[in-house]
Amino acid sequence: PAYPPEPWRVKMVEPLRVTTRAEREELLREAGWNPCLLRSEDVYVDLFTDSGTNAMSDRQWSALMRGDEAYAGARSFYVFEEAVRTFYGYEHVIPVHQGRGGENILSRCLIRPGTHVPGNMYFPSTRAHQELNGAAFHDVIVDAAHDPASEHPFKGDVDLGKLRAVIAGCGADAIPYVSLAATVNMAGGQPISVANLTETCALAHAHGIPVFLDTARAVENAWLVKQREPGWAGRTVAEILLALCAPTDGAVMSAKKDSLANIGGWLALRDPALAEQARGLVLLYEGLHTYGGMAGRDMEAIAAGIAESVAEDHIRARVAQVEYLGARLGDAGVPIVRPAGGHCVCIDAAAGLPHVPRTEFPGQTLACAVYLEAGVRGVERGAVSAGRDPATGENRWPALELLRLAIPRRVYTRAHIDLVADSVIAVHRTRERITRGLTFAYEPPHLRFFQARFKPA
Ligand code: F0G
């Protein structure tokens, strides 16, 4: 694919340590076969997440110095509020320490036990908060999202028929809101089209149901709309971002993704009464409503990062780097989720390791193999991440059993990406050597993928 040169140069470096295979075998055993429990200094290229791992610009670092650390009414809050209002278009901006802080507040405000939340696939922390507050989650994403080989350009789209069926089956009164994401992380960073998002909002609103958008990667979604959705090629990413947010009733944001910051987030709402209720909960769980768990300097870094995130040369190079990795793996015959997403390339571990049964977690097994090969860390996005059904206690078996390689923004060079591609291809070519998977040695009750320990099956 076209691989535009990076629109930045390196000003500061962070040395990396290279380990031997023998060292990695020992380190992984100590980490309970869960790369999440490795120390970062034992990882060479860290594609565990694109969350909070971004390189800030010189402008963001200098913005830190402007941080107003006043407890109440800090100037930095108003800078931050103005940036969110300008680029996302929501009136009421409530700061939180990171995305899940906003998910907690929104879920607590709106969800009552016995209610139902439809969404375009799920994200673990988002669904966990919905379920903790007593809702049942319903996946209403298009079928193509569950098919790694489908080339559907908008695998984040809602199947309106599925949404109508949930509304008819549960009753609009029992649906506190529709939970949408742009892009859809668990589907492999797949975008939702402006047309589908707008139609979904119209359907929900016709039944009096509000819609909240997870905007963690909405700028990447906007870029993919510009590339793929008829009618949008001539618009700026900033315009498309506003168009994605416009039909929704509010958003939850992890600023650790698109916004090029290392920490922070926000909840934004249009309804003033709901915003007042949410501010009340922020005081209890996050901090005052003018800092929400962030330092003043964090809010400055986010405000500067938001403006940089919609710059066309930035977002073009960012997504092109992801596409480059996808093309290298795809060309070598590694089964990946098609098309490559906005922030990650996902390897179809069920297809890649067909001889490892689902009950032995092929995604987790592949994550370990890729680490052992060259010190590259990804994260399982399959049955381990899906967890157990809170009602039955049974394991969930999602259609997608993936190893996600998420690329931090502005951090790695093309040589790093080539090393990742070479090592994943090497694992793929010798895959029949992986004869068994993993079973749990310790399984935590919530978001188990973070702290679980495994043993060879
Ligand atoms: N929503 C989405 C779509 C996310 O990807 C994440 C985090 C969150 C919400 C929660 O935000 O981490 O700031 O509390 N995703 C990270 C990941 C952890 O690796 O995909 P947070």
When computed from its CA atoms, the radius of gyration of the chain, rounded to whole angstroms, is 21
Average pLDDT, the chain: 97
Instruction: Identify the H or E element spanning 302.
Output: helix 296-309
Average pLDDT over residues 91-102: 98
- Quote the pLDDT of residue 3: 83
Average pLDDT over residues 93-110: 98
Any bridge partners for residue 262, and if so which? none
- How many other CB atoms are there within 10 angstroms of residue 65's CB atom? 8
- Compute, in angstroms, the gap from residue 254 CA to the centroid of ligand 1: 6
Average pLDDT over residues 380-398: 94
- Compute, in angstroms, the gap from residue 94 CA to the centroid of ligand 1: 18
Residue 337 pLDDT > 70, yes or no? yes
Average pLDDT over residues 26-44: 97
Ligand 1: does its nearest atom lie under 6 Å from the Cβ of 49? Answer: yes
Which of the 8 DSSP states describes residue 337?
P
Average pLDDT over residues 21-25: 98
Q: What is the pLDDT of residues 281-321, one digit of tens each?
A: 999 999 999 999 999 999 999 999 999 999 999 999 999 99
Residue 265 CA: nearest ligand 1 atom is 13
Ligand 1 pocket test, candidate residues 120, 126, 212, 257, most atoms within 8 A of CB: 257
- Compute, in angstroms, the gap from residue 357 CA to the centroid of ligand 1: 28
Q: Give backbone dihedrals phi and psi of 94, rounded to 5 degrees, phi first.
A: -120, 115
- Quote the pLDDT of residue 1: 53
Q: Which residues contact 439 (CB under 8 A, 6 or more apart)?
A: 359, 360, 361, 454, 455, 457
Q: What is the pLDDT of residues 194-240, one digit of tens each?
A: 999 999 999 999 999 999 999 999 999 999 999 999 999 999 999 99
Ligand 1 pocket test, candidate residues 46, 100, 129, most atoms within 8 A of CB: 100
Ligand 1: does its nearest atom lie under 6 Å from the Cβ of 185? Answer: yes
Ligand 1: does its nearest atom lie under 6 Å from the Cβ of 51? Answer: yes
pTM given for the model:
0.97
Is the sign of the CA dihedral 249, 253, 258, 260 positive or negative? positive
Specify the pairing of strand 376-377 against strand 45-46: parallel
Phi-psi region of 423 (alpha: psi -120 to 50; beta: other; left: phi over 0): alpha
Average pLDDT over residues 6-13: 95
Specify the pairing of strand 211-214 against strand 178-181: parallel
DSSP secondary structure letters along 215-254: -TTHHHHHHHHHHHSTT-TTS-HHHHHHHHHTTSSEEEEE
Q: What is the pLDDT of residues 148-191, one digit of tens each?
A: 999 999 999 999 999 999 999 999 999 999 999 999 999 999 99
Ligand 1: does its nearest atom lie under 6 Å from the Cβ of 126? Answer: yes
DSSP secondary structure letters along 311-330: -HHHHHHHHHHHHHHHHHHH
- Quote the pLDDT of residue 23: 98
Residue nearest to atom 11 of ligand 1 (CA): 99
| Domains of the chain with CATH codes | 21-50+312-456 (3.90.1150.10), 58-309 (3.40.640.10)
Distance CA 328, CA 321 (A): 11
What ipTM did this prediction achieve?
A: 0.99
Q: Which residues contact 51 (CB under 8 A, 6 or more apart)?
A: 216, 254, 256, 257, 406
CB 438, CB 401: distance < 8 Å: no
